Every structure is written in C-alpha cells, then in structure tokens.
Structure 1
Amino acid sequence: MDIDFKKNNDGLAPAIIQDAKTKSVLMLGYMNEEAYRKTLDTKNVTFYSRTKQRLWTKGEESGNFLELVDIKVDCDNDTLLVYVNPLGPTCHKGTDTCWAEKNESKFGFLSQLESIIKSRKENKEDEKSYVASLFRSGINKIAQKVGEEAVETVIEAKDDNEELFLNESADLLFHYLILLQAKGYTLKDIVKVLEERH
C-alpha cells in the first residue's frame, strides 16, 4: 500500500481500529511508518504514542492485544482502517471500545426491531400491540403465524409480483423474529450457528 505518512507534519497517519467480526469501531490511534511495519511483522497492532513519544503495542501491559486481520488505506492515502480481533477490552478504562459501547454485532434496523419485539414480550398486557397479543396467545400461535407467512412467501415467489413477494418476505422475517424471542433467542444466536457451519 502507498501510505503518505509525510502528509501531516508529525509523520503520523490516523488508524481507525475496527473489529473484523462485529464491525464495531474500537478506538482511534496513530501510526508512523515504523509502527505500521511492526504491526505487519508481529500481527499485533502497534501505534506511535504521542504521549509516550515511542512505539506502543496495544496490549503490551494489559495483555489485551489487537490481532491484525487486515489494513486498508483511504482514498487520500493518509488514513488507515485496521481490522482486528481484539483479545479483551480495547479501552484502557476496561470497556470494549473507547466510546464505552459494547462490542457486539449489530444488524441495523433489524436490531432495533428486535428491541421493540423484546419490549412487547415484556409488556404482554399491552392491548393495542399486535406483537404483545401474539405473545399472550403463546408459542403455538406464533409458530403457526411463521408457517402461514412462509407458505405465503413461497406462493408469491412463484409469481412475478415483486411487491407482494417483498411484503410477504417482510412478514415472514418479522414473525420469525417474534418466534426467536418467544424461544429466548435473537439473530446473534442464528448468526453464530451459521458462522460455525461456515
């Protein structure tokens, strides 16, 4: 890679550290050319510490190393995106990230939807909620709804109406997320099984 370490007067390139699996941003550090080379050689992420004025391998004291997976350089050749497998918390304060966020997989809107479904499960007595009514009806009703939506999705897959197919697919996924919650699971559990199979 052609990295322009001289673009900044201090010879440092910002290095954004991202978990290769969860895609969570863990921290921001700085690398000079020597830190970059050491990272490639040792496969443990090494920075140039502006505070210590020396090379610093993340985890050299705590044991919470950042194992290198891949490095990419941005379009201006002056910022690095470093994919890692973190061995323990990343932040010196003991949190998963330097923004005190949990380092876990997120599925965008689907994670938000799971959170809403969980809330409805915990508040089953909400008379206005369709999801709460399914939880009140029990696992058999929820499983039945998944079956119905699966059949409707298959039927629409055989036709050429894309809008109906997508709507039935959304209904199927929605009810499947409810079924997962009813059984005490989330998408993360399914992803784990798929990763193990892969």
Structure 2
Amino acid sequence: MNIDFAKYADGLVPAVVQDFTTQKVLMLGFMNEEALKKTEETGLVTFYSRSKKRLWTKGEESGNHLQLRQILADCDKDTLLIKAEPKGPVCHTGADTCWSERNHKEDFLLYLEEIVKLRRTSNDETSYVKKLFDKGINKIAQKVGEEAVELVIEAKDVNRALFLGEAADLLFHYIVLLQAKDCSLADVIQVLKDRHQPK
C-alpha cells in the first residue's frame, strides 16, 4: 500500500478506525510507516503516540485490542481507513467509541435480536422473552404459528394498524424462534443472498 507519509511534516497520517461489522466510527489515531507495518504484521491496530513518543498498540494495557480486518487508503493516499473488530470498549473512558456512541448496527431488527439474546439468558423472571424460552421450543414455535394465522386474518380486512400490529408480533416471535434454534437473522439473510446469486 503506497501511503504519502511525506505529505505531513511529522510523517503521521490520520487513521480513522471503523468497526468492521457495525460500521460505526470508533476512534481516530495517527500512524507512521512503522505503525502501519506493525499493524499489518501483527493484526493488531497500532498507532504512533505523540504523547508517549513511541508506537502504541491499542489495548496494550486494557486488553481492548482492535483486531485488524481491512486497511483502505483514501483517494489522495494520505488518510487511512482501518476496519477492525474491537475486543471491548474503544475509548479510554470505557465508552464503545470515542464519541460516546453505542457500537451497534443502526438496523433496529439486529438491535432487537441482540435484546432477545440478552433476555434469553437473563435472570429476570418478569421478562416475556425469558418466559417463552423457559417454556421451550414447542411453545415458541406455537406462538409463531398463532401470530402467522392472526396476520393472515388481519390481511383479509382493511385495518392497516391492526395488520401492522400482527406483522410486528409475527416478526418478533420469528426472531425469538431463530434464537431458540441458535440461528440469526444474518443466517437467513445469507440464505437469501445465496439464492439471489445468478445461476
């Protein structure tokens, strides 16, 4: 990768770090040639620290490393985009990102899937999701069937609000069923992508 380190007087190019999965921007650091080389060799994102005046591997003290997945250079070859997998909070404050954003996909269904996953293993006896999981796969599958029938019934009428309510109920219970089968929305999406491929 041909980066124009000489463009900056100190030889440090900005390196924007983005979560490979969620695509959230996690932090901004600076790399010199040596830091970039070490990042590529070790697979752990390494910067040049101006304050420490040395190479600094993210997480070297906290253990919250950034596992390298991809490096891209911008059109002028003077800024890096580092796509990585964070192994814990990225900011020194303990926040997910240096902008205090939660590091999750903006896709609400994927967020909801994470909530279902957390509730499945929670100790909260009042949680509807936990109660469903405690009743087992037969009850969960039965709920999906009931919600599907209710959606079909509402589809025959003209009440949009009731139809959407039943659609939401079905989708929610479908996510619960996927979790019960140790599958995810991503697994289903991959099947659809595979089917979509030209023959």
Matched ranges for 1:35-54 at <5 A: 35-54=35-54
Distance in 1, matches of 2:31 and 2:4, equals 11
Normalising by structure 2, what TM-score? 0.62
Distance in 2, matches of 1:46 and 1:195, equals 34
Q: CA deviation at 1:21?
A: 0.9
Matched ranges for 1:1-198 at <5 A: 1-107=1-107, 143-144=148-149, 146-147=151-152, 176-181=167-172, 190-194=184-188
Distance in 2, matches of 1:142 and 1:17, equals 42
The alignment-based identity, stated in percent, is 48
Distance in 2, matches of 1:76 and 1:148, equals 58
Q: CA deviation at 1:180?
A: 2.6
Q: CA deviation at 1:190?
A: 4.3
Number of residues of Structure 1 aligned to a counterpart in Structure 2: 153
**Secondary structure at 2:6 match in 1:** coil
**Secondary structure at 2:83 match in 1:** strand
RMSD over aligned CA atoms reads: 3.8
Contact kept, 8 Å, 2:110 with 2:185, in 1: the verdict is no
AA aligned opposite 2:148? A
AA aligned opposite 1:15? A
Q: CA deviation at 1:38?
A: 0.4
Distance in 1, matches of 2:165 and 2:25, equals 28
Q: CA deviation at 1:80?
A: 0.5
Q: Is the alpha carbon distance of 1:76 and 1:174 closer, same or farther for their aligned partners in structure 2, counting shifts above 3 Å?
A: farther
Distance in 1, matches of 2:50 and 2:58, equals 14
**Secondary structure at 2:23 match in 1:** coil
Contact kept, 8 Å, 2:65 with 2:87, in 1: the verdict is yes
Q: CA deviation at 1:191?
A: 2.7
Distance in 1, matches of 2:69 and 2:77, equals 19
Q: CA deviation at 1:53?
A: 1.4
2:122 maps to none
Q: CA deviation at 1:22?
A: 1.1
Q: Is the alpha carbon distance of 1:182 and 1:8 closer, same or farther for their aligned partners in structure 2, counting shifts above 3 Å?
A: same
Q: CA deviation at 1:95?
A: 1.1
- Segments of 5+ residues of structure 1 without an aligned counterpart are 115-137, 153-171
**Secondary structure at 1:6 match in 2:** helix
Q: Is the alpha carbon distance of 1:106 and 1:9 closer, same or farther for their aligned partners in structure 2, counting shifts above 3 Å?
A: same
Normalising by structure 1, what TM-score? 0.62
